[in-house]
Chains A and B, each alone.
Chain A
Amino acid sequence: MGLYAEDQEQLYHGPIPYIILLAGAAVAVGAIAAVGIVFSYIGSLGPASFWNNPWVRGIIGAALWAAVVGAGGLYLTLLERKFMARVQVRYGPNRWGPYGLLQPVADALKLMRKEDIIPDAADSLVMRLAPIVAFAPSFMLFAAVPWTATYVASEMDIGVLYIVAVTSLTPIGVLMAGWGPNNKYNLLGAMRFAAQELAYEVPLILAMIGPIAVAQSLNGVAIVEAQAGYWFGFIPKWNIFPQFFGAIIFFVAFMAETGRIPFDIPDAESEVVHGFTAEYSGMKFVMLLLLEYVHLIAGAALFVVLYMGGYLGPSPINQFAWFTLKLLFVILLMMLIRAVWFRVRIDQIMNLGWKILLPAALINVGFIGVFLALTVQ
């Protein structure tokens, strides 16, 4: 990788790694497509079938997404490590398993085996419950994400509002994680997280009003369907083009809610020593760590649904695959941002949230109202 001054010319490795990468991507896309086929089959059975009974669908959906999102979150750490490594002129995990594919497995095995320390001075019940309370809501929100036109684990009227409502419970768990272990750095991190979450919740919801108003519905499927069709025959009618302003507000706000660079002050290593996870070890730490990644997937999914036409796309691959590809695109974009940006200071974050994003979101809502009043009817 050009690490020595002499081998500046030898950056090219030959075609084999790229062939293997492409093959891997093909396999991954195939697997995603297979899941999509199962989903569309279930969706096509009609409301009377056993599989579409709300209870059955809820339980199966929960179990399935627990597995997929759990493993996805775990492998997202690997993806992030590999991706960041490539940005940073190094290789990333590549020793355990082919291309380091077993690295998350090893991490999980180790962390399961790790001793679980509850300090003497800790509020032990709060400390034990905190990861669950923090983790559960961000998991619950996958119930309302429309993966295909016919498959939503729980199709409800309030769709995206449910997602936002459930997300807003996460700070409780994080504040518990800050309070329980009786550690100043935990507390500082949790306070920063809660303040940040409160500040960016409002612009986030205000930015969501745009797509909701266009679709005249809170339902995810309806919002996606409202983006069907093309302008001039080739530009998809995604909300991101007419509502670019709102999309940016939403993107920044959900990046801040996820707590990643440049907004990663809740777990800034050099300032508050990993923040609210500082005192956690073992599986509890895993849950708090996965929180970030599940949040990331959920935020990206919401962005795709609201602004990037959800599962819509040209027909050659199925809807689920389109959704996943768009999701991966947004996630990789956020990882790239993480790799090259600096961290913002706490007062700068608050200023951005309250003084710039909030007025901007309000103005955006006004514009969309005027626009809709002029165009609709």
Chain B
Amino acid sequence: MSADGSQTHVIFTKKDELLEVAQDEKKRKSFLAKVKRPAEYLINWGVKSSLWMYAWGLACCAIEMMAFGAARWDSDRYGIIARGTPRQADLMIVNGPITYMMAPRVKRLFNQMPQPRYVIAMGECAINGGPFWDSYSIVKGADKIIPVDVYIPGCPVNPEALLDGIIKLQDKILKGELAS
């Protein structure tokens, strides 16, 4: 968004609401922290150990995501399998540039995922538009429309890098630091 506000490309509307929710969560945590910690840890462990990713493809990184699921990297080792419907997915890997035409769909798919849900911005395009930064049809980053947990740079991202990103995300989940 430019300083004068003339070009309102993207607005993430619910920012304030999210802040409030986060503060409430903080209060609740301090009150019941001691009782809930082991249970939360257990649940978080379960969530992080079975991150089902949404099987979709946007661009080049989708091919590397497929390679990540295939024999050499075998995402199944980490309990990561691909589901074809957002209702059963926990992890959305935004693996390519988002066009203005695609953006509403991406947001809707994200909204269709049940909580807890996580987003990885895979590759430069999903981080800030990447090599197409000055194109007329590209949203400059996935975080303009949906909250993103982990950013993985690369063009395209190697499967190793994706694995690293997912391990980072798992650490975050175990600690309970969530973006969405």
Contacts and interface: CB of A to CB of B under 8 A. Distances in A.
Please say whether the chains A and B touch (CB closer than 8 A): yes
Interface of A: 1, 3, 81, 85, 88-96, 100, 102-103, 105-117, 269-270, 273-274, 277-282, 285
A114 B114 contact: yes
Contact of A106 (B55, B79, B87): B79
B133 interface: no
Interface string B67-91: 0001110101111010111011010
A278 B81 CA distance: 16
Interface stretch (B3-11, B17-25, B41-49): B41-49
Given A109-B46, A112-B46, A281-B114, 11 more contacts: A85-B74, A92-B77, A102-B49, A103-B79, A106-B46, A110-B49, A113-B47, A114-B114, A114-B115, A115-B116, A279-B87
Contacts of A282: 114
Contacts of A270: 84
Given A93-B79, A281-B88, A282-B114, A110 B74 contact: no
A108 B71 CA distance: 25
Given A90-B76, A113-B43, A113-B116, A281 B49 contact: no
Nearest to A280: B87
A280 B12 CA distance: 28
B50 A103 contact: yes
A110 B47 contact: yes
Contacts of A94: 77
Given A117-B114, A281-B88, A282-B114, A91 B74 contact: yes
Given A3-B71, A90-B76, A95-B78, A109 B87 contact: no
A110 B88 CA distance: 11
23 contacts: A3-B71, A85-B76, A88-B71, A90-B76, A91-B77, A93-B77, A106-B49, A106-B50, A107-B46, A109-B42, A110-B43, A110-B47, A110-B90, A114-B115, A116-B114, A117-B112, A269-B55, A274-B83, A274-B88, A277-B88, A279-B87, A280-B87, A282-B114
A112 B77 CA distance: 21
Nearest to B40: A113
A270 B76 CA distance: 20
A74 to B, nearest CB: 12
A101 B56 CA distance: 28
A96 B49 contact: yes
A100 B76 CA distance: 10
Contact of B76 (A92, A110, A115, A278): A92
Contacts of B115: 114-115
Interface string B104-139: 000000001011100000000000000000000000
Contacts of A81: 76, 81
Interface in B152-174: none
Nearest to A270: B84
Contacts of B43: 109-110, 113
B114 A106 contact: no
Contacts of B83: 274
Nearest to B78: A95
A345 to B, nearest CB: 19
Contacts of A113: 43, 46-47, 116
Contacts of B85: 273-274, 277-279
- List the 3 closest pairs (A to B, CB-CB), nearest first: A109-B46, A106-B49, A115-B114
A280 B81 CA distance: 17
Contacts of B42: 109
A323 B49 CA distance: 34
A92 B50 CA distance: 13
B88 A285 contact: yes
B84 A269 contact: yes
Q: Which of A114, A116, A117 has the most CB of B within 10 A?
A: A114
Contacts of A281: 87-88, 114
A116 B88 CA distance: 10
B74 A109 contact: no
Contacts of B90: 110, 114
A83 B74 CA distance: 14
Nearest to A286: B88
A107 B50 contact: yes
A190 to B, nearest CB: 15
Contacts of A90: 70-71, 74, 76-77
A234 B74 CA distance: 45
Contact of A109 (B47, B71, B78, B81): B47
